[in-house]
Amino acid sequence: MSDFLFNLSLLAFGIIILGATIYYFNGGEKQPLPDLPWLNTNEDERFTILRSRYRSLFNFKQTIDGAYGKVCYSNGGLSYTDTDSPQYSKQELSCILPSLADATILLPASHAAWIVSQPETILSATEPHVEQLQTQYTFVHSWIVQNPVHHDVIKGELTRQIGSLTMELMDEISVAFDELWGTNTEEWKEICVFDTVMQVVARASNRAFVGLPSCRNKTLLEHAMGFASAVPLAAAILSQLPEACRPLAALLIAYPNRKHTKGFAQILRSEIERRKQLLDAQNGEIEKKIGDAEPNDFLQWSLLRARKTPQSVEYESDIIAERLLSLNFAAIHTSTFSITNVIFDLLAGESSRNYLDQLRHEATAVFSSNGNTWTKKGLAKMYKMDSALRESTRLGSFLGKGLLRKVMAPQGITTPNGTHCPYGSMVAVPSNGVHNDPEYYPDAAVFRPFRFSSERQSNGTDDDFSSGDERTKSDDYIRKANLSFVSTSPSYHPFGHGRHACPGRFFAANELKLILSFMLMNYEFEPLSQRPASKWLGQNLVPPTTATIKIRRRSGNPT
């Protein structure tokens, strides 16, 4: 299997190189770009644009941070600031960020608020998502991504039901860790963080998505995790090919996507049909309960909504299943990345045991104060854990460039700094630079897990603003709330920012806190002398996927 994956990687790399070369020599950009400096170019060399594309592929972090300027780097535990870069963003200047197949107009970070204020008809957040994922090839029904009605369920029922789902999630997390990490309190066990955490995330997420017993169906979970891995790989390869080659190439490259979609739907189809029959037996009185209690999960909410929509296709079992699979795609990798990163961040360095002890104490105190149960309100009081997740995500955000938008205005649009962006061009800001800027984050290169918690805990751990006028209390509350893991801002946007920010981040934050709490309360960890390095794959930062740690079950039964 490993040989096959290695050969597939070589083939994919060859296709990318060939496709990019063909693309370049056949005209390059489809849309005109403004007359701006291209990053990684040298006017004295031949084929400088082509070379800049490859330099950006293999040296993306330095490229994006150099465009930003005044960024703190880490080197052997020491931090330093790059003062030799062009610093376009810091000078309120725009530039062109090349990649193998296209180029992005990189706007100053100060334009973040302006970008998110533009309507979808001017700057679209959906179109770049569709193009990046190559949805016409990587999804069986691409319109599921282009018309994400399941987002309404995420913003509505899923977010409202977080409290009622909390103990169910912890039940699934507990069972999953018992199986994957074990219950031996005597022997240390070496485990791969990424692989095991992905399985826990998949099971916990699907407890909320499809409920018991489907969330424990190993084949269903394999299809969910396989699809989550197959989509970005296929999209990365296809996006580098000339458009004329993509339909034929997708027959092979996107085959795993189709296989996982079909397999996922086949397993879930009988459960969907069973629930539809129960709903039909109610003669349209959806609120009337007959027999067993109505399931409280994403599948049921989707069925109830789909029954009411005029588009009958939305009520088809395979479409319901594919929307659930796309939800798995969004949930599994992002949460797996977050937990993997924060575990390695916490275990590395001399302060590891202190960090773990403080977080373990906080989790235990919240659990005990709520009658040995987990509640949404209790999780909201875990300021230190919330801060650790925010800090780890700041340093390990998957995206190097953020707030990506496509210009939809036929006449183009002119930015506040005077850059005219033509119709069809892509714009973004240098997110990685922002997240590593000492102007916003002192000692930006250093992982400080409680960077955001001390201020939120001041004046009472319950945010009890019992004194002062209402305006002061309101401003103080908002200021502190903006330091939470799920809050976005122009200087913190791993979840995006504005009305297009990730709608599932509230559910994800609670799930991550439950997973991390169970880990800390039930297991001991051997500290690491050094954090395993994350790696840049193109324009994305990926946590260590093969690194291992040693764990041992703690005595007793904390949860």
What string of DSSP letters covers 383-418?
HHHHHHHHHHHHHH-SBSSEEEEEE--TT-EE-TTS
* C-alpha dihedral sign at 114, 120, 122, 128: positive
Determine how β-strand 535-537 pairs with β-strand 420-421: unpaired
**Beta-bridge partners for 492:** 489
DSSP state letter for 179: H
121 and 196 housed in the same domain: no
Band of the pLDDT at 74, cuts 50, 70, 90? very low
Tell me: the pLDDT tens digits for 56-68?
778 888 888 878 8
Is residue 15's pLDDT more than 80?
A: no
Annotated binding site: 502
Are both 244 and 381 inside the same structural domain? Answer: yes
| Statement to judge: residues 46 and 189 lie in one domain | no
Helices 317-347, 193-209: axis angle to 10 degrees equals: 140
Residue at 381 is within a domain: yes
Flag whether 192 is in a domain: yes
Category of 469 on φ-ψ map: left (φ > 0), alpha (ψ -120 to 50) or beta: beta
As to burial, measured by CB atoms within 10 angstroms (0-12 exposed, 13-18 middle, 19+ buried), residue 3 is: exposed
258 and 157 in a common domain: yes
548, containing H or E segment: strand 548-553
Check pLDDT > 60 for residue 70: no
Reduced DSSP (H G I as helix, E B as strand, rest coil) percent helix, strand, coil of the chain, to 5: 55, 10, 35
Instruction: State residue 182 phi and psi, 5-degree precision.
Output: 90, 175
The DSSP result for 292-312, as a single string, is SPPP-SHHHHHHHHHHHSS-G
Residue 1 lies inside a defined structural domain of this protein: no
β-bridge partners, 106: 95, 428
Q: How far apart are CA 457 and CA 382, in angstroms?
A: 10
Residue 470 above 70 pLDDT?
Answer: no
- Strands (DSSP E) along 17-117, which ranges? 72-75, 78-81, 95-98, 103-106
CATH number where 359 lies: 1.10.630.10
pLDDT at 133 over 60: yes
Residues 82 and 196 in one domain: no
Confidence of residue 292 (pLDDT cuts 50, 70, 90): low
The pLDDT-based confidence of 459 (bands split at 50, 70, 90) is: low
The reply to whether 154 falls in a domain is yes
Q: What is the mean pLDDT of residues 127-150?
A: 92
Binding residues for heme: 502
| Neighbour count for residue 494 (Cβ, 10 Å) | 23
Kindly state whether residues 467 and 444 are assigned to the same domain. yes
Predicted confidence (pLDDT) at residue 312 exceeds the cutoff of 80: yes
Q: Specify the pLDDT at position 12.
A: 57
378 contact partners, CB below 8 Å, separation of at least 6? 366, 367, 369, 370
Range of the domain at 295: 143-398+438-490+494-553
Do 148 and 212 fall into the same domain?
yes
- Residue 338 and residue 261 share a domain: yes
Q: 285: pLDDT confidence band, cut at 50, 70 and 90?
A: low
Is the pLDDT at 27 greater than 80? The verdict is no
Instruction: Specify whether 147 is located in the same domain as 115.
Output: no
pLDDT-based confidence at 182, cuts 50/70/90? very high
In what helix (H) or strand (E) does residue 152 lie, and over which residues does it extend?
helix 150-153
Q: How much is the pLDDT for 481?
A: 82
On whether the CB atoms of residues 415 and 107 are closer than 8 A, the answer is: yes
Torsions phi, psi for 536 (to 5 deg): -85, 120
Are 84 and 186 in the same domain? no
Closest CA to 558 of 162, 174, 164: 174
- Structure tokens given for 407: 């210009």
Can you tell me the mean pLDDT for 148-156?
A: 90
Strands 426-429 and 402-407: antiparallel
7 found inside a domain: no
Q: Based on the domain organization, do 47 and 177 belong to the same domain? A: no
259 with 122, same domain?
Answer: no
Report the chain's mean pLDDT, rounded to a whole number: 87
- Residue 26 maps to a domain: no
Which pLDDT score, from 0 to 100, does residue 30 have?
57
Between residues 83 and 497, which one has the greater pLDDT?
497
Amino acid at the residue 106: L
User: Considering the domain boundaries, does residue 80 fall inside one?
Assistant: yes
Q: Higher-confidence residue: 450 or 148?
A: 450
- Asked if the model's pLDDT at residue 544 lies above 80, the reply is yes
Q: Which tens digits make up the pLDDT trace of 507-529?
A: 999 999 999 999 999 999 999 99
Question: Are the C-beta atoms of residues 409 and 423 closer than 8 Å to each other?
Answer: yes
Q: Flag whether 6 is in a domain.
A: no
Per the structure, the count of domains in the chain is 2
- Please write the tens of the pLDDT for every residue from 327-352: 999 999 999 999 999 999 999 988 99
